[in-house]
Structure 1
């Protein structure tokens, strides 16, 4: 089996980007056009992990690495930085943020590591002239909405802006649902959207207090629905769109029971 190296991968990427002999599609791309693919590849890595499909994980990690190489090649062409610079910055950051491993500091447990990590990040922001940044900084706008809401809430909680326990968060869910009902009664679409967003945001807050990942919980719920729906399609001799409401409900209950066996 050939022993491929990162240097070979970088060479392949450079050849694909060659304006004279490269691939027309690759040559045409820039940071903005590639960004959606980078996000997509990260999700495909997460899906392979969730499925415990390790051969697929190996392939998807390669695809994600390709995105890093692609961005780095574009940056090298523009004289911004190259792949080696990316690796150097990463290595420096990992050593700097783990003084309990690479330095003389101590960290007795995971919580101590987190405290040190945040303190070092604050020092890094100050060194960049960002010491007055918001406590909510550092959460990418491009994250999935549920994940971003959880991260924003977590950052707010670190400075004490949080419910002290789960019970009041659960009550707040009911409060937000009541406000959604009022918006529905008014028929104001903008108000409905606003209140519906508040419901989702509060549910994310509840998941955080329950120590659940809202993204993962929703993925599991969606997968469960998909399994049951496919079971319905398989069990019914007639197309689902020909069934009335009662027949659909009966088929759904049958599919649920089948999934529990």
Structure 2
């Protein structure tokens, strides 16, 4: 079995050699299954996840049972910073959106290293800030922008993190993630398909014109990229790639 390349994950790739050496032997390779719950609200954060090819959705759940996404974590970052830097209690649910490979490490080991290494602690802080950037931009986007713009933003973000143009995504799931009704997503998706921007087929969606999808999105997609750049972080693929 071929060992995964830890430097597929941007957080690990950005570490100082000494910090990476301190945790390398404690990283465990796993495959994350679609729909798997990695972190549950209110539970103790025991593990931190470092996606290599997987993409994880951070969601909040309402009393009526609805879920809405606040951020995505993929090979660009680390899942579990809030359990390392602060109280080790989950503030959101984390669910696997795109299945794939990841590395696991005990949150306690990261917490210990953060206490010893200022550079490591600063790196964790920047990635934690990046999640906050996503969350606050999502709030503004969901409150102010059209369903088409929100769906385009979300699809581009999933593409950036997964490095793929084709995903297994239902209209129900997409509607849930951006906080709208399924029929609204169905209407917009049909229009985008008629314009030859995306293609739907039996629970799968394929982006066939990235440039046009980028034109359909709102300012929020570019705003998040700009904030990531200011933090010195990667957001994955460029929209025209």
TM-score norm. by structure 1 comes to: 0.24
TM-score norm. by structure 2 comes to: 0.25
Q: Which has the larger radius of gyration?
A: 1
More helix by share: 1
